[in-house]
Amino acid sequence: MDLVILRAPEIAPALRALREVVASNGRVTPAERRFLEVVAELHATTTNVDALASIAPVEVARVITEPHTRKRVVQLAMIASMVEGEVTAAGAASVKALARALDVDEAGLKVLEEIVGNHRLLTRFDMMRRLMGRIGRRAYEDDGFAGVRKIIAGFAGVGEDPEVAWKYKSLGLLPAGTLGRVFWEHCTSRKFSFPGEKGAIPERLVFHDFGHVLAGYDTNPEGEIQQGAFQAGFIREDGFAFLMFVVIQFHLGVKITPVAEAETGLFDVAKVLRAAQRGAACKVDLIDRWNPFDVVHLPLEEVRQRYAIPPL
């Protein structure tokens, strides 16, 4: 999911549209102002937020015509509506009006309405269905129902597999500095279970922890929201769902995943958006049948360079 998608003539109208969303409640906060500035910076320009004139959604539609760009503008507007840690009815309505004018069908619009209505269970259900849909589909395509059962068993804390566990534990035998050894150190120092052990994440989700190692983000809540954004960046098919998820989980305080507690107020605009762009620069979609054992023997820095991951 690349955030740098606007052509030069589209930048100002897009920023004006985003300002309409954040100003829908009558003011623009410092965090919202910073959001607009960072979007401009990612496109190698600057903006004077106070000088951004009002713009109607139909005007935006006249300038931004490419479907993919339109969808990304709507998705940015959705994230903009969350910057202050809550989604207001006015903000959600502003995003919906923009989506209607741009003829964008984005499933997250329904989630925005659920958040406004404080329907947390529905929010969790719809986000988990979207997040796990692709992973579950891949598991079924590769291994049939047995693959799906392994994911469910992993989340349920059952389904131990000593052979799988040893495959990951043995990474501690690799030379220091290799991706596999650093991954082993990452898990061991935090007392994380390895895939195949009781209480571990399913093996199909191990890309997340390898992603922590590759990106360099910590596993505390501040690190998790950045790691989730990095993950959203490298995922080529609906990476936006992961960005939306981490903002909801670690900024709005709505618990989505069962493996982490919900947090509030952790959306550092510059860090999170730049983490997403670092992920977008990565040449490999780690969720798309990526096999870490192809590269665990290589030095971590070499893998980062091979995947074109920008420095932290």
Residues 6+ apart with CB under 8 A from 232: 1, 239, 240, 241, 242, 243, 246, 276, 279
pLDDT category, 139, cuts 50, 70, 90?
A: low
What average pLDDT does the segment 202-215 reach? 93
Residues 301, 303, 305: CA angle, nearest 5 degrees: 70
pLDDT for the residue numbered 151? 59
What average pLDDT does the segment 152-161 reach? 65
Question: Rounded to an integer, what distance in angstroms lies between the CA atom of residue 209 and that of residue 229?
Answer: 14
Res 158 pLDDT > 70: no
pLDDT for the residue numbered 260? 84
CA 277 to chain centre: 10
Q: How much is the mean pLDDT over the chain?
A: 93
Res 132 pLDDT > 90: no
- Phi first, then psi: what are they for 3, rounded to 5°? -90, -20
Res 233 pLDDT > 90: yes
pLDDT for the residue numbered 201? 81
At which residue do the structure tokens 């969808």 appear?
71
Domains detected in the chain: 8-117 (1.10.3680.10), 122-306 (no CATH)
For the stretch 306-312, contacts whose Cβ atoms lie closer than 8 Å and that sit 24 or more positions apart, written own/partner, are: 307/214, 307/282, 307/283, 308/281, 308/282, 308/283, 309/214, 309/215, 309/278, 309/281, 309/282, 310/278, 310/281, 312/215, 312/216, 312/217, 312/278
- Model-level pTM? 0.91
pLDDT for the residue numbered 170? 98
The 10s digit of each residue's pLDDT in 296-309 is: 999 999 999 999 99
What average pLDDT does the segment 129-157 reach? 67
Res 9 pLDDT > 90: yes
pLDDT for the residue numbered 202? 84
What average pLDDT does the segment 209-214 reach? 97
What average pLDDT does the segment 32-61 reach? 97
Least confident of 52-61, 195-204, 230-239: 195-204
pLDDT category, 200, cuts 50, 70, 90?
A: confident
pLDDT category, 109, cuts 50, 70, 90?
A: very high
